[in-house]
Every structure is written in structure tokens, then in C-alpha cells.
A = this chain, B = another copy of it.
Amino acid sequence: MNRKVFPVANSRQSARAQTSRARDTELGPREQLLAATSQLMTERATADVSFSDIAERSGLNSALIKYYFGNKSGLLMALVRSAIGESMAQIQTLLGMDVPAKEKLRLHIAGIINVYYRHPYLNRLIHHFMNEGGETYGPAVAEEIIKPLTQAQQVILREGVANGEFREVDPVLFYMNVVGACDHLFLGQYTLKYGFGVKKIDDEFRQRYAEHVYDLALNGIQA
């Protein structure tokens, strides 16, 4: 997790807790709870896990969840920040790279698909916070994830137009199309399973899909 990018409530207590309470592991209790939640959600392919399951898996008292995160929403939002923090920080590095805009677009698309692949519960949590469960953290998700992503893609598109690589394209339509394609690989896994008999997204499939989405996007905007 990149705390510079995502300052987290209670991060001081958490840092102290890591130092004083860590026992047979290098992770503090706060990070142990996050890791247990992440493992359970990945294994069960659902974002619906209980406090008692998290307590059992982490070997910690479930009261600590309230202590560190306030409530379930707080825990889920901390998980989103933990999963996405590093990738969001890399966006600025990507934008500053001395490569053609189309290479930035390729890395941008692969980056979105990779972060979803590594954290299979991530886009369900983001959808949760931007829809039904959005009262508390919806604005934070918008500010910390949606806005930086949309702005980054617009920078890449403008750069590509300026240096003659891309033709002009509506950035709103293009974003919804490309990010929707990335999203659907994970949110629409039932289609893979029932429509095409693909039971599991493995690393090779992930890479082929990222190249496919990039190819289609590039063909569509290449000057």
C-alpha cells in the first residue's frame, strides 16, 4: 500500500501496532486482517465474507476489525486502497515515460487488467462503493481512482494526437469502451464459463486479452 497516495485513517496507530504487536509474522494486525480478507475473497470469488471468517483466517479477534477499520465498509475501502495504491502511483510514472503514446496506452490497458487480475474482488468492491454502498466511500473512490484514471487516459490521448499517432476521438466514449472491456473480463466471468466453457482466467488468457483490447483500441484511434 502506498500511504503517500492513500493516507489511511488510523495509520499512525496501525504503524505502532505493527511494531509492538507483530508476533510470528512481519505483518501487523491491521495488515493481517487485510491479507485474510483478501485471501478469503479471492478463494471464494465473492466480496461477501463475514467478520468471523476473517477472524478465524487471521487468527485475530474480530473486535480488532472495528478497532482498525470502524466497520465493514471501512475494512472494504482499506482493501481497495491496499490493492490499488501501487498501481495508481505508477500512473504518474507511466505518463512521464519517454515512449510513444501508443506504448503508454498499451501499458495503461495492461495495468488495469493486471490489477484486476491480481485482486479479483477489486472491481466488485469498486462497483459496490459507486452504487449500492456508496454513501460513505463513493466520493473517495471517485477522487482517488476514477478521476486519476480518466485524467491519465486523456493525457495519453492528447499526447498521441499532438505527435500524430492518434486521430481525434471522444475521450468519454473511448474511456467507457476500453475500461468497460477491461472490467468485463472479471465482472463477466459467468459469460466466459457458460458462453464459452472457459472455467478460469489464467495468466496466458489475461495477457492475450490485454493485447486484444489494446489492438482493438489502437486500430480504432490510429491516425
Contact = CB atoms under 8 A, between A and B. Distances in A.
Interface stretch (A61-69, A73-81, A181-189): A181-189
A220 interface: yes
Contact of A173 (B46, B174, B176, B212): B212
Number of copies: 2
Interface residue SS majority, chain A: helix
A10 interface: no
A171 B220 CA distance: 18
Interface string A118-144: 000000100100111010001000100
Contacts of A178: 181
Contacts of A130: 188, 190-191, 194
A43 interface: no
Interface stretch (A27-35, A99-107, A146-154): A146-154
A-B pairs with the 9 shortest C-beta distances? A180-B184, A150-B195, A130-B190, A142-B194, A216-B220, A173-B212, A177-B181, A219-B219, A180-B181
27 contacts: A46-B131, A46-B132, A124-B131, A130-B190, A134-B190, A142-B190, A146-B190, A146-B191, A146-B195, A173-B209, A174-B216, A175-B191, A176-B181, A176-B184, A176-B188, A176-B192, A176-B209, A177-B184, A180-B181, A180-B182, A180-B183, A180-B185, A181-B184, A183-B183, A183-B187, A216-B216, A219-B220
